[in-house]
């Protein structure tokens, strides 16, 4: 079966995980939530997290994956979940083995491949579609974003949102699902029970004077001035800014740095070269900021650049309850990861 991630997220109970699954596409936020649901479907037993194995697609061998999917679950007699992350190169290298595996997958585990692309005209895609589950996690077109905001706010944040307010969120935030979700989470905390998100609340809370302080904090972190960046964070939180809102304000810039890093690495992998400026522009960075952004990305380095999306997703998840740490500690750790020059390996 093949379906859109949006159909899957709206009605996950109608689609169950299969022995082999693929989640692919260009939206890390949507992929993250699809994986979260599949994980919860497979790992239903107590202590089932011990039956979860994650591999990096660039380094793992097929024989190691095969060993894991044929291993009996450790607890409760349930299934194992074996995830191969960033699996595009893994699929390219072991396509024949995966095609054979897809014909008769293991009954002991669910194999989940996370990809950027999964062409429909390949034999592997055909076999996985027939035997398993394929979820396409791509961003919605702009004309559908407002309706998505209204529905997502009600379903995932349990807070109604006026269509006019949703349109204003779209105009101020853009089309990034992850950033919109962070903003909705912040707004939902401000709404009284049985009330809804209104245009007045959006106008007051989305894109205020505090945004400038958040950007200054990010600039300081990207320059490696960790202590100064932490002081700016304290200023924001003491002024009443919500931690989720702080992350929401700086996330778009960091996502563009992550996209630019990926473009540079993909070009190198194909024996080509792309300038930092070109990569940033293709990633959507405003031309006015290209000069400053080039310097920031070079200092950030490819090692941290490739980790940005995972750091953002983890911080977002932790701020929404996955971690018992204080929100300030979560954000401080996130800033240190960005600012610490010891992680620079460009």
- Tell me the CATH number of domain 2-136, given options 2.40.170.20, 3.40.470.10, 3.40.50.300, 3.40.190.10: 3.40.50.300
Dihedral sign from CA coordinates of 228, 232, 237, 243: negative
CB atoms within 10 A of CB 189: 12
Q: What is the pLDDT of residue 73?
A: 67
Which pLDDT value is given to residue 135? Answer: 98
pLDDT of residue 75: 57
pLDDT at 47: 59
Strand partners, 115: 24
pLDDT per 10-residue tile (average), the chain, 346 residues: 95 94 92 93 75 90 95 70 94 96 92 95 95 94 93 95 91 80 89 92 71 82 92 86 86 92 92 91 79 90 91 92 91 92 49
- Classified by CATH at the fold level, domain 143-343 comes out as Zinc Finger, Delta Prime; domain 3 (1.20.272)
- Please state, in angstroms and rounded to a whole number, the distance separating the CA atoms of residues 195 and 191: 6
Phi, psi values for residue 115, rounded to 5°? -130, 160
Q: Is 31 helix (H, G, I), strand (E, B) or coil?
A: helix
What are the angstrom distances between the C-alpha of 322 and each of 193, 312, 313, 314? 23, 13, 11, 9
Give me the pLDDT at residue 346, please. 36
DSSP state of 133: E
Using CA atoms, how far apart are residues 230 and 221, in angstroms rounded to an integer?
A: 8
Q: Which regions of the chain carry the CATH code 1.20.272.10?
A: 143-343
pTM over 0.95: no
Which part of the chain is CATH 3.40.50.300? Answer: 2-136
Residue 344: predicted pLDDT: 44
């Amino acid at each position: 079966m093949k379906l859109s991630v949006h159909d899957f997220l709206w009605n996950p109970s109608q689609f169950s995980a299969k022995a082999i699954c693929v989640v692919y596409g260009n939206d890390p936020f949507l992929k993250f939530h699809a994986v979260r649901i599949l994980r919860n479907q497979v790992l239903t037993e107590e202590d089932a997290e011990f039956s979860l194995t994650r591999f990096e697609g660039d380094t793992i061998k097929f024989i190691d994956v095969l060993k894991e999917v044929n291993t009996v679950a450790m607890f409760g007699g349930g299934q194992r979940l074996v995830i191969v992350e960033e699996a595009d190169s893994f699929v390219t290298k072991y396509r024949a083995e995966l095609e054979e595996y897809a014909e008769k997958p293991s009954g002991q585990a669910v194999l989940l491949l996370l990809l950027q692309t999964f062409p429909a005209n390949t034999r592997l895609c055909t076999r996985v579609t027939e035997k398993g589950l394929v979820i396409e996690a791509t961003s919605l077109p702009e004309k559908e974003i407002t309706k998505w905001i209204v529905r997502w706010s009600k379903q995932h944040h349990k807070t109604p949102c006026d269509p006019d307010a949703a349109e204003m969120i779209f105009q101020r935030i853009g089309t990034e699902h992850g950033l919109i979700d962070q903003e909705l989470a912040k707004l939902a905390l401000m709404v009284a029970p049985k009330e809804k998100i209104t245009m007045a609340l959006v106008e007051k809370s989305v894109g205020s004077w505090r945004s400038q302080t958040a950007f200054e904090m990010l600039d300081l972190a990207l320059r490696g001035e960790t202590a100064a960046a932490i002081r700016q964070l304290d200023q924001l939180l003491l002024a009443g800014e919500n931690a989720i809102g702080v992350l929401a304000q700086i996330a778009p810039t960091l996502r563009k740095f992550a996209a630019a890093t990926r473009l540079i690495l993909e070009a190198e992998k194909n024996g080509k070269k792309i300038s930092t400026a070109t990569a940033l522009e293709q990633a959507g960075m405003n031309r006015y900021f290209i000069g400053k952004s080039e310097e920031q990305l070079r200092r950030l380095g490819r090692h941290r650049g490739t980790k940005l999306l995972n750091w953002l997703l983890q911080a977002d998840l932790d701020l929404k309850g996955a971690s018992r740490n204080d929100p300030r500690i979560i954000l401080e750790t996130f800033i240190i990861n960005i600012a610490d020059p010891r992680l620079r390996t460009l």
